[in-house]
A and B are shown apart, each in its own frame.
Chain A
Amino acid sequence: MGLLEEYGGDAKVVAGATALTILLRNRLIAPRALISLGRVRDGLRTIREEDGALVLGALVTHREVEQSPLVRQRIPVLAETFATVANVRVRNVATVGGVVAEADYASDPPAVLLALDAEIEAQGPKGGRRIPVAKFFVGFLETALARDEVVTAVRVPVPPAGTRGAYEKFVTRSSEDRPCVGVVALARFDGRRCVDLRVAVGAASETPRRYPEIEALGRSTTLRGDVVPTIAAGYANATDALDDMRGSSWYRKAIIEVWVRRAIERVASESK
């Protein structure tokens, strides 16, 4: 903290450095100092369950989330999402704190964290605070973090029993590329009836998107039949999809429609 203050915003905190190295090499950032969290111990490296939530320390790696028995058992879709990031070499060093603090629109985890109503725990000179993911990602490489704050953990509420989740990643180029669109669907069922539906779309806009009024259409249905395409079309319409080398805005909207439908169909098909 002291160091961040000392450099007055001209320093960057670094953990796994998979993203920071690219930013530095492309001269997108040129901080005066890098503050390594490499030697920090105190709890930043653990995954624990606390008050109905999983708390992922900022220095926990993607690989650890992917392989954690606790995560796999309590929130399988979270492990599934982190397992799709890049390749195993990157996942072995890239951290949970890093992926949220970087706020790259083309990362996989932000969308699933949004759907899970996760909170980011941040620590600054004046103490700690929790920021809901919906308010944390502000824009392109931009978060609600103050210059002197660091991410210490990501707190993910464990969904109620009967919830199923699916993360569907769509790449348009090499299999090791980042997503053109990523969709996460979470549905809680009471018997065959859906009592809660959450859908988030990642990699298609500056920040991940959720539309509660469209999600609500799925409630009290079996998530079969016409309601699913209606929700999917709603998401495609509502999303201000961006243009990049992975796909045009037009194409992303087309993919959102297909991928939202398929993600919902997957969680619905797994219901008895």
Chain B
Amino acid sequence: MSVAGAPFSGLIDARERVTGRIPYTIDIELPNMAIAKLLRSTMPHARITRLDVSRARQVRGVFAVLTGADLLERSDVFPYFGPVLRDRPILAIGKVRYAGEPVVAVAAVDADAAQEALDQVEVEYEELPAVFGIDDALAPGAPLVHDEPPKAGHTFADIILHGHPGTNICNQFKLRKGDIERGLAEADEVFEDTFYSPPLQQVPLETHCCVAEVEAGHVTVWATSQIPHMLRGNLAEVFKLPTSRVRVIVPTLGGAYGAKCYPAIEPIAAVLALVARRPVKLHLTRDEEFVTVTKHGGRITLTTGVMKDGRIVARKSLCHFNTGAYADIGPRLIKNGGYGTAGPHNIPHVWVDSYAIYTNIPPAGAFRGYGINQAAWAYESQMDVIAERLGLDPYEFRMKNLLTEGQTFATGEPVEDCHFRELLTMVAKGIGWEAKTRRVQKGSIVRGKGLSCTIKSTVTPSTSSATVKLNDEGSLNVLTSSVEMGQGQKTAHAILAAERLGIPLEKVVVMSPDTDATPYDQQSSSSRTTYAGGAAVRLAVDDVRAQLARLGAGLLGVGEDAVEIAEGRVRTKAAPHRGLEFGEVVRKTRSGDLVGRGTFQTKGGLDPETGQGVASAHWNQAAAAAEVEVDLETGKVRLLRYHGASYPGRVVNRVLTELQLEGNIGFGVSQALFEEMVFDNGQLQNGTLADYMVTSTLDMPRELVTHILENPERGDIHGIGETSLPPVMAAIGNAVYHATGVRVKDLPITPEKVLRGLREREAADRPAPKTPATAPAR
């Protein structure tokens, strides 16, 4: 384990992980800690007409029973929260807006007592008319999920707000590039297609957990959170305290995938701890996790104008994202999902209207891919529809339109370090695209291949800081608020610090986030942890290097520019044998330790009216090729082969890079073929892992190849946590179309939809180029 020899690859805490020694939030135990449980709404939209908790309070072992009405009576608590809009009550106040919304919280000596208290709660509802789908919510005169326009609070720099008071439109994003009317008018052909992605759950192995303690005007929470500092800010607002009196500690997470991005259960646990006057642990069951945060269901209509030679000249996108009962991060996600529909294509005229829509289903928030999954499913499926109609090969058609170095994205910014064509070519070669002439049929089994290529942004502008402490024997502590959630953040930051300073990896320890000690980091999401958090760590090490040079030069009796830092020493350039170990410099100057600080900031932002500006500090680029087998008698799809390519720029940790790529593909296969949250009148029908299907290893292709395109000379690190996910669904959908002639436009691609499409095609007497609609878009 050394940076001097072969680069370290893998997880530095692998042994602790597999032997169960990593402490997770659920392992936190405090003296006199109470166990919390929640009573949740059984109604999707209803007025609470009666809520009697008097019998619950009398249950033996109960310390606190809390309702929304109790919150309103407290002068020391602001009862609403949310990362953008303060639209979410800590517990339902007056009415409930989705089935599963927390209504009553209980803290008791143990889970049984808490449950018994919940069983004693008497609650009566007066059901209100509700909206569940996008069309319900947008219908004239539709019932409103929020009677009053929710208030905005302090939030991220990149958020653009365009509310539509008096409707269920939570927010709108607009993009206007070029002249869309002219572009569509001048096009030889115009295609209009609508694609749908259903709501999903992130399904992290570890469900949400929070341990909270409120003592002497200080709030401390141990939380499963990807955003320690924003959570601190939100809790400070709830408790009306300076942020300095709120402390957020984040142990290692058991997966997150966006589910743990924004506050959800932490305000409940913390206020309950205040009322119960003792620490409280709230750990969600799996069925609670399903109604806590979800992926946005999305309906996207693309109107795309092309020339006969295959150049795309105009695209108009109408995007509706179902954000559920509370905004969460929906107001930002629609921006990414909106401009994302332009894809990695050089299109002169682009128009996007993207909406977040309130409905009475559980709130939707961040989900690995962040709006780009929905966008890419739409535009990469439509690419094949267009290619077929124009009589072009899907590979050639894409190559004609993919962005090249310096061409402008939909936001008007030039795309630098641009590798789409190389990536698409890698996967096309891998899958044997040139060998592709026609689908192969054997009995009732047909085979087909599909391609896809996608672009994803990373949150911009953003800020990450890090602190490093060089100790007096030369070891280094790294203090960062980046979150380890299984992706290898600690390993990546340790590698970056060790190589920058030139010390062995074993000498570096990366601390878990503790907002009292670790400096600001905006969020461990948006594939930015190694890229932005890592950049801050390197800048902090540079600060220490500068101090070493200054102090070392003094000790060596030479000028600062006469020394260099190399091979773990400060030495004179003239006589490299004359030098000092790092620890010696600290000791001889009686510095105690050397503290370095680094802040990495990206600049950018979009014009609120035109969506023009800088959307992303760099671009995450990926391509995919899939080969599937379909049984024409059943519609069953089997993924045989998959090639996925990504551009990480510089690889920091090869094993983890490959695993991230593979993990994304597993996520994508699941979304392409199986996953869907099914609601009936706002009631979730499949909120268990027996009913909600995630992919099994048995469903993964026998040939799964990840291609990593590197550019070590340039040295930039591009995020990979999400990059290779967005192309998966359309690559599989396009392969299914190639095999069967059936274009499924609404995910997942179930055997039933494929068989229905095949039967409709037969009934329509095989009109060769026409694509049957498989199901009405929702």
Contact in complex: A245, B755 (CB < 8 Å): no
B742-756 vs A: 1/0 string, CB under 8 Å? 000000001110011
Interface core residue of A173, A177, A251, A254 (most chain B CB under 10 Å): A173
Within 8 A of A (CB), among B256-300: 287
A176 at the interface (CB under 8 A from B): yes
**In the complex, what residues of B have CB within 8 A of residue A68's CB?**
none
**In the complex, what residues of A have CB within 8 A of residue B634's CB?**
170, 254-255, 258
Cβ distance A179 to chain B, nearest Cβ, rounded Å: 13
Cα of A173 to Cα of B673 in the assembled complex, Å: 7
Within 8 A of A (CB), among B660-701: 670, 673-674, 678, 685-686, 688, 690-691, 693-696, 698-699
Contact in complex: B695, A245 (CB < 8 Å): no
Contact in complex: B695, A172 (CB < 8 Å): no
**In the complex, what residues of A have CB within 8 A of residue B751's CB?**
172, 247, 251
Cα of A175 to Cα of B666 in the assembled complex, Å: 14
Cα of A245 to Cα of B752 in the assembled complex, Å: 11
A67 at the interface (CB under 8 A from B): no
Task: Point out the residue from B678, B696, B755 that lies within 8 Å of A176, measured CB to CB.
Answer: B696
Cα of A176 to Cα of B693 in the assembled complex, Å: 9
Contact in complex: A174, B636 (CB < 8 Å): no
A248 at the interface (CB under 8 A from B): yes
B5-31 vs A: 1/0 string, CB under 8 Å? 000000000000000000000000000
Cα of A175 to Cα of B751 in the assembled complex, Å: 13
Task: Point out the residue from A175, A245, A248, A255 that lies within 8 Å of B699, measured CB to CB.
Answer: A175
Cα of A175 to Cα of B699 in the assembled complex, Å: 6
Cα of A254 to Cα of B756 in the assembled complex, Å: 10
Within 8 A of B (CB), among A217-251: 245, 247-248, 251
Cα of A22 to Cα of B687 in the assembled complex, Å: 12
**In the complex, what residues of A have CB within 8 A of residue B688's CB?**
22, 25-26
B633 at the interface (CB under 8 A from A): yes
Interface residues on B, range: 20 to 34
Contact in complex: A245, B674 (CB < 8 Å): no
Within 8 A of B (CB), among A147-204: 170, 172-177
Cα of A170 to Cα of B633 in the assembled complex, Å: 12
- Whether A172 touches B636, Cβ cut-off 8 Å, given contacts A22-B690, A248-B752, is yes
Contact in complex: B674, A247 (CB < 8 Å): no
- Whether A176 touches B698, Cβ cut-off 8 Å, given contacts A22-B690, A245-B685, is yes
- Whether A172 touches B696, Cβ cut-off 8 Å, given contacts A22-B690, A254-B755, is no
Cα of A122 to Cα of B699 in the assembled complex, Å: 40
Main secondary structure of the interface of B (DSSP, over half): loop
Contact in complex: B678, A245 (CB < 8 Å): yes
Closest to A255 in B: B634
Closest to B286 in A: A25
Contact in complex: A251, B752 (CB < 8 Å): yes
Contact in complex: A173, B752 (CB < 8 Å): no
Cβ distance B4 to chain A, nearest Cβ, rounded Å: 44
**In the complex, what residues of B have CB within 8 A of residue A248's CB?**
752
Cα of A92 to Cα of B696 in the assembled complex, Å: 19
Cβ distance B704 to chain A, nearest Cβ, rounded Å: 15
Task: Point out the residue from B633, B678, B686, B694 that lies within 8 Å of A174, measured CB to CB.
Answer: B694
Contact in complex: B752, A175 (CB < 8 Å): no
Cβ distance B573 to chain A, nearest Cβ, rounded Å: 62
Contact in complex: B696, A245 (CB < 8 Å): no
Cα of A255 to Cα of B750 in the assembled complex, Å: 13
Contact in complex: A258, B698 (CB < 8 Å): no
Contact in complex: A174, B750 (CB < 8 Å): no
Cα of A247 to Cα of B685 in the assembled complex, Å: 14
Contact in complex: B686, A245 (CB < 8 Å): yes
Closest to B678 in A: A245
Cα of A22 to Cα of B689 in the assembled complex, Å: 10
A37-56 vs B: 1/0 string, CB under 8 Å? 00000000000000000000
Contact in complex: B755, A177 (CB < 8 Å): no
Closest to B748 in A: A173
Cα of A77 to Cα of B518 in the assembled complex, Å: 62
Cβ distance A229 to chain B, nearest Cβ, rounded Å: 12
Cα of A251 to Cα of B756 in the assembled complex, Å: 8
Closest to A177 in B: B693
Within 8 A of A (CB), among B616-666: 633-634, 636
Contact in complex: A174, B752 (CB < 8 Å): no
Cα of A177 to Cα of B693 in the assembled complex, Å: 8
Closest to B752 in A: A251
Cβ distance B729 to chain A, nearest Cβ, rounded Å: 16
Can you report 21 A-B residue pairs in the complex whose CB atoms are below 8 A from each other?
A22-B688, A25-B688, A26-B688, A170-B634, A172-B752, A173-B673, A173-B674, A173-B693, A174-B670, A174-B693, A174-B694, A174-B699, A175-B698, A175-B699, A176-B696, A177-B693, A245-B686, A251-B752, A251-B755, A258-B633, A258-B634
The 7 closest A-B pairs by CB, nearest first: A175-B698, A173-B693, A251-B752, A176-B696, A174-B693, A258-B633, A175-B696
